[in-house]
């Protein structure tokens, strides 16, 4: 405490506040006048009914303690900005900063969905341009940007199929789904009121056209297929599959989550797909999962266009309007017009690459997956011996014989500083290791990752118990994952 400030204890106040008297050199006993700054009583500002007097046992901490707590926790997290995120089927690619810059432009960040169309022309133009790009990429005829996720897009897409078949006076009961499908596919079909029938994959990991032919009867509304499928295998007979369905009056739905292997190279619209969704937060580099809201646009062929959710963009003269006059539309599937900020980011990604750049990204994604496959296939059992597309899928067969499984290998990867791959999916592969590097990883990062997995394979040969007890370097080691999922405790205290 400096010379000029004398600490005095005045009348002991209730909370024993210390008051300070500043002694001014020229003027003995100078008393600092009350500071003339505005202040707000938070309780009064919040208003009656919005405050509580007491919460039993609530922890009392200061703002700085809370900030430090959460900042510290955030540094314990793993993110795409820290390293490779090889979750197969999830396409966890880098989110380029140019997307963020575009989304923060005032005209993109500030529009309100209730502002008049005349003041939203720029935002509407962005959406129309994105729809046009997605049509060009997929080879489809029309797009809705409303759905907020891939699963949501699936649901919207199957509702379109249902509305179409009903309009033909031909409602049907069943949806066929290959056994390699993502769990959202059967969930979607079930939610839309259909019975789900599984189609076994053949020995090459593809839809078995013989089995399909027998399964498609007059009750089948559609097949939901993922292409490339979740084994990273391109469905070679996809055009035949479409024909088998169409000949029986059924439609082909494509789960487009794996479009990272096709953009600029092959168009679903050309191989017979009637309706599909895209995951902008996968293929088109917008933030994924905890990084932000998703977006699952649905693209359709002409026959399904009348059923697309309302409203839709309509060009009238030189202006955009929202068209609500769509008598056959299945209705809205989401408030307003989709996650606009995500749409801006996806369009920024598309435009920053251009057609050639998008194709190059696809080729690099496939190259990266095959590079990892080549480096790893001497150490891990490849699941299906077909060319890999955007991802490569191994089984843990070799390691199982030594007592370790895909879960143990994944946990040990954390010690090497990597986020694990997708574990135990697809279900038809025993102990799957599903690895998708994406095009955004450098050769150096791919090599470090492959080195880590090879090293783990060697560790399993030498000391399997050590691997089974991993992770060794994390703040918590084994956690009760089942308990956390089935009986989550989301309150601080009961």
Interface with ligand PLP (CB under 6 A): 89-90, 149-151, 182, 184, 226, 230, 255, 257, 279, 294, 296
Cβ closer to ligand PLP: 423 or 467? 423
150 vs 232 by CB, closer to ligand PLP: 150
The nearer residue to ligand PLP, 342 or 453, going by C-beta atoms, is 342
Shortest Å, Cβ 396 to ligand PLP: 21
Q: Of 121 and 424, which CB lies nearer to ligand PLP in the complex structure?
A: 424
Per-residue exposure over 449-464, b if at least 16 CB sit within 10 Å of its own CB, e if not: bbebbeebbebbeeee
H-only helix segments in 303-442 = 340-376, 397-400, 406-415
CB nearer to ligand PLP: pick between 258 and 470: 258
Instruction: State which residue, 140 or 467, has the beta carbon closest to ligand PLP.
Output: 140
Residue from 55, 78, 32, 45 nearest 414 by CA: 78
**CA-CA distances (angstroms) from residue 349 to 65, 94, 179, 358, 396?**
38, 11, 33, 9, 36
The pairing of strands 195-199 and 19-22 is unpaired
CB of 151 to ligand PLP, least distance (A): 3
Cβ–Cβ under 8 Å, residues 178 and 302:
no
**Least CB distance from residue 476 to ligand PLP, whole Å?**
26
Instruction: Using alpha carbons, list the distances in angstroms from residue 160 to 101, 144, 156, 254, 326.
Output: 35, 11, 6, 13, 13
| Least Å from the CB of residue 282 to ligand PLP | 6
What is the nearest approach in angstroms of ligand PLP to the Cβ of residue 150?
Answer: 2
Structure tokens at 366: 């496939």
Q: How far is the CB of 58 from ligand PLP (least distance, A)?
A: 35
Q: Which is nearer to ligand PLP, 178 or 431 (CB)?
A: 178
Give 33's Cβ-side CA count (13 Å radius). Answer: 2
CB nearer ligand PLP, residue 255 or residue 274: 255
Distance CA 395, CA 381 (A): 5
| Residue least distant from ligand PLP (Cβ) | 150
Give the span between the Cα atoms of 297 and 259, in whole angstroms: 13
Q: How far is the CB of 434 from ligand PLP (least distance, A)?
A: 10
Q: How far is the CB of 306 from ligand PLP (least distance, A)?
A: 26
Is 418 within 8 Å of 82 (Cβ atoms)? no
The H or E element spanning position 97 is: helix 97-104
Distance separating alpha carbons of residues 302 and 300, to the nearest angstrom: 7
CA-wise closest residue to 375 among 424, 464, 283, 441:
441
DSSP code string of 146-182? --SSHHHHHHHHHHHHHHHHHHTT----EEEEETT--
Cβ nearer to ligand PLP, comparing 99 with 295? 295
Nearest-approach distance from CB 227 to ligand PLP, in angstroms: 10
């Amino acid at each position: 405490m400096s010379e000029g400030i004398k600490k005095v204890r005045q009348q002991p106040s209730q909370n024993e506040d210390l008051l300070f008297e500043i002694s001014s050199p020229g003027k003995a006993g100078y008393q600092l006048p009350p500071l003339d700054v505005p202040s707000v009583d938070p309780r009064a500002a919040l208003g009656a009914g919005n405050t509580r007097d007491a919460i039993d046992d609530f922890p009392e901490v200061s703002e700085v303690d809370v900030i430090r707590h959460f900042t510290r926790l955030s540094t314990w997290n793993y993110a795409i900005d820290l390293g490779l995120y090889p979750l197969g089927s999830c396409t966890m690619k880098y989110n380029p900063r140019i997307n963020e810059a575009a989304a923060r432009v005032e005209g993109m960040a500030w529009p309100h969905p209730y502002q008049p169309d005349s003041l939203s022309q720029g935002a509407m133009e962005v959406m129309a341009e994105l729809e046009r790009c997605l049509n060009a990429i997929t080879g489809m005829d029309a797009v809705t940007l409303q759905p907020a996720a891939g699963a949501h897009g699936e649901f919207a897409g199957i509702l379109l199929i249902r509305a179409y078949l009903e309009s033909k006076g031909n409602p049907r009961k069943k949806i066929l789904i290959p056994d390699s499908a993502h769990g959202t596919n059967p969930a979607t079909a079930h939610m839309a009121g259909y019975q789900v029938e599984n189609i076994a994959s053949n020995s090459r990991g593809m839809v078995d056209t013989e089995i399909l032919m027998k399964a498609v009867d007059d009750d089948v509304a559609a097949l939901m297929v993922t292409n490339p499928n979740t084994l990273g295998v391109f469905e070679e007979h996809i055009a035949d599959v479409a024909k088998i369905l169409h000949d029986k009056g059924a439609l082909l739905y494509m789960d487009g989550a794996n479009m990272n292997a096709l953009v600029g190279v092959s168009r679903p619209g050309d191989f017979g797909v009637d309706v599909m969704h895209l995951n902008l937060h996968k293929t088109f580099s917008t933030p994924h999962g905890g990084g932000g809201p998703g977006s699952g646009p649905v693209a359709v062929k002409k026959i399904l266009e009348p059923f697309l959710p309302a409203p839709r963009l309509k060009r009238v003269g030189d202006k955009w309007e929202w068209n609500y006059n769509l008598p056959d539309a299945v209705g809205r599937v989401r408030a307003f017009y989709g996650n606009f900020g995500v749409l801006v980011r996806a369009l920024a990604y598309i435009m920053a690459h251009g057609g050639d750049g998008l194709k190059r990204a696809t080729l690099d994604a496939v190259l990266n997956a095959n590079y990892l496959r080549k480096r790893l296939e001497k150490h891990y059992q490849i699941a299906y011996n077909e060319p890999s597309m955007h991802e490569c899928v191994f089984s843990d067969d070799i390691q199982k014989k030594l007592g370790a499984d895909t879960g143990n290998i994944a946990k040990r990867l954390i010690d090497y500083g990597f986020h694990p791959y997708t574990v135990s999916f697809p279900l038809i592969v025993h102990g799957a290791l599903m690895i998708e590097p994406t095009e955004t990883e450098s050769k150096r990062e791919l090599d470090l990752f492959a080195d880590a997995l090879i090293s783990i394979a060697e560790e399993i040969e030498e000391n399997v118990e050590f691997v089974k007890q991993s992770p060794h370097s994390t703040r918590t080691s084994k956690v009760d994952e089942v308990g956390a999922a089935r009986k989550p405790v989301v309150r601080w205290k009961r």
